[in-house]
């Protein structure tokens, strides 16, 4: 049964608005309603992976909102822990890709980081298990823990984006923005997208092709500008030295 590719994602109605940071908490000061979908071209996952301090967290909340709908404020420390868990899960996926392609050099170090983060993981490992088997179970464990509150429903295709092939499809219904983020990661992984690190900002991103070097159009543009400026500078130096020589 090929289920993964047939699961559609239903949009989530969510609140965002001006946000602030105080005493460790990120709060929404105002809120406007918008809809967010895993199928959007704008990646909520990649935007969230850029959160690293109060300023970037406030910027994320203004663009997308808070992660869960339990309260009107959330602890920055919880956000940073979530970013770390996502990054470690992505690192594990990348190391598994390498291991399956014959390069087993990165997997032991990534596994060690996971065991350190969650000591219970070591208890679950069976004697004789290979690193790849441990890593497979570990990665599905992280994903499935985060996906367990997402409902799987049968939905008519008139609530889906145009072009849906069947009158009824399975649909994953996220309840929170955090669900959207983990669902996006799960979709990339089950679609066998390749994980890469951006040549400019160093953040991870997923791609179908083998040639993509940048996480976003903005990083690709910045790189193009940087190379343009470097070339102009090099030309100026050459021209100046030509003048000096003459
Ligand atoms: Zn980038």
Ligand 1 centroid to 143 CA: how many Å?
Answer: 24
User: Which H or E run contains 238?
Assistant: helix 217-245
CA 161–ligand 1 middle distance (angstroms): 29
pLDDT in tens, the chain (246 residues): 444 445 777 788 899 999 999 999 999 998 899 988 776 666 899 889 989 999 999 999 999 999 997 788 999 999 999 999 999 999 999 899 889 889 999 999 999 998 888 777 777 778 888 899 989 988 898 899 999 988 888 888 776 666 666 778 788 888 999 999 999 899 888 888 887 888 898 887 888 777 888 888 888 999 999 998 888 888 887 766 665 544
Beta strand 151-156 with 73-75 is unpaired
| Cα(91) to centroid(ligand 1), Å | 16
Q: Enumerate the β-bridge partners of residue 9.
A: 172
Q: Provide the 10 A C-beta neighbour count for residue 128.
A: 6
- Compute the distance from residue 198 Cα to the ligand 1 centre, in Å: 5
Quote the ligand 1 centre to 202 CA distance (angstroms).
6
Burial 79-115 (b: 16+ CB within 10 A, else e): beebbebbebbbbbbbbbebbeeeeeebbeebbeebb
96 C-alpha vs ligand 1 centroid, how far in Å?
A: 22
CA of 203 to the centre of ligand 1 (A): 6
């Amino acid at each position: 049964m090929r289920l993964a590719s047939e699961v559609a994602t239903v949009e989530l109605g969510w609140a965002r608005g001006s946000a602030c940071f105080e005493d460790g908490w990120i709060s929404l000061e105002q809120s406007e309603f918008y809809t967010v979908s895993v199928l959007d071209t704008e990646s909520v996952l990649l935007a969230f992976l850029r959160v690293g301090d109060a300023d970037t967290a406030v910027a994320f909340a203004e663009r997308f909102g808070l992660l869960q709908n339990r309260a009107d404020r959330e602890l920055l420390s919880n956000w940073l822990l979530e970013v770390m868990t996502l990054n470690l899960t992505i690192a594990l996926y990348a190391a598994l890709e390498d291991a399956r392609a014959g390069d087993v050099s990165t997997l032991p170090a990534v596994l060690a980081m996971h065991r350190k983060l969650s000591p219970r993981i070591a208890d679950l490992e069976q004697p004789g298990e290979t690193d790849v088997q441990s890593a497979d179970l570990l990665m599905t464990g992280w994903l499935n823990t985060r996906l367990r509150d997402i409902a799987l429903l049968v939905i008519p295709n008139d609530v889906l984006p145009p072009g849906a092939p069947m009158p009824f499809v399975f649909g994953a219904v996220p309840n929170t923005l955090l669900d959207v983020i983990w669902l996006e990661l799960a979709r990339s992984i089950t679609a066998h997208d390749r994980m890469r690190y951006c040549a400019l900002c160093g953040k991870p991103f997923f791609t179908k092709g083998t040639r993509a070097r940048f996480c976003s159009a903005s990083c690709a543009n910045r790189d193009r500008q940087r190379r343009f400026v470097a070339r102009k500078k090099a030309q100026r130096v050459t021209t100046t030295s030509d003048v000096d020589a003459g």
